[in-house]
Amino acid sequence: MKATQLLHNLGQSLWLDNITRDLLNSGTLKRYVTELSVTGLTSNPTIFDHAIEHSSAYDAAIREKLSRGKSGEALFFDLALEDITRAADLFRPVYDKTDGVDGWVSLEVSPLLAYDTASTLAAAEDLHARAGRPNLFIKIPGTKEGLPAIEEAIFAGIPINVTLLFSREHYVAAAEAFLRGIERRIDAGLNPNVGSVASLFISRWDAAVTGKVPDLLRNQLGIAIAMRTYKAYRALLASPRWQRVFNAGARPQRLLWASTGTKDLKASDVLYIKALAAPFTVNTMPEGTLKALADHGDLGTILPADGGDCEEVLAQFGKAGIDVDTLAAQLQDEGAKSFVKSWNELMEVITSKSAALKEVIAS
């Protein structure tokens, strides 16, 4: 049995951290669903940037939208929604079979809005309405400014993937925003079943401290942070406040492991996958990591609910001069800036492709 199936049987959802029109058109994504136990999908500006720049699969659609006067951001979201809704339809049987627990796809609001609460909420409402799919998460960064938008979006009934979380504290803040939105729905007599995941980024921790800590601590920080966060996740799910909303009909916000591709070429290509095997979580992984996992025959140990030895490991990083709270804030800020950079590059690709295709039309 493939390790992907073993992980699925354990109770962890495997999502692909990629989407391209070629993946959809070729049937490859459908094959990942049937053969590799993939039950969902995430996207981001970088993924779309690479997909559109390096493929001619979007050219006809871009030409058609140019003929209707579309350009820039508006043109991009038209393209993205076409891909995302096709993927949502592919995963709809999973969504229906699991009664909305699984089978989700994610589309991000413009990262230029990361520090603008009102505009983030308006964009989330617009994208979700345009997609018209129940199994679509709108991704909103869990920044200080993003948290109020997350609460309001949940209250409005919009499923949310909270992204750019880097620590236990980031996760707890996002979980609280979700819970406040659910409690407000209950108080208002609304259905409290609104889907959400909270995405904790893993590998960037280890990339950030490479060369700054002893070799014995190599590639251990991201996993320790994940274990600490998983302990908080399990504690929240078991708390009286959360169990009250579950009793009213709400669903838990699941913890999602993001950025799980191994950055260190000397480490295992499934380092973070095996280390973070845990029931009732999601692991969204790059295509290469998914394929590598399928080639492995075992998983190893399951993540302990009590956090295991994470505090001892984190204490060793503290002795090595790593302040995890400061680094978490830095990583979130850098992540937001990186998304903006990718977004700007994506807009440049849209502009340059549009210009080239206009020339072809004119000739």
Contacts 24+ apart (CB under 8 A), 299-304: 299/3, 299/6, 299/7, 299/10, 299/274, 300/274, 300/275, 301/277, 302/10, 302/277, 302/278, 303/226, 303/227, 303/230, 303/275, 303/276, 303/277, 303/278, 304/227
Q: Which of 65, 70, 139, 231 is catalytic?
A: 139
The reply to whether 139 belongs to the active site is yes
List of residues 6+ apart from 359 with CB closer than 8 A:
none
On the CB side of 251, CA atoms within 13 Å amount to 19
List of residues 6+ apart from 159 with CB closer than 8 A:
104, 128, 134, 135, 136, 137, 138, 194, 195, 196
Q: Is 125 helix (H, G, I), strand (E, B) or coil?
A: helix
What residues are paired with 138 via a beta bridge? 107, 160
Q: Active-site residue numbers?
A: 139
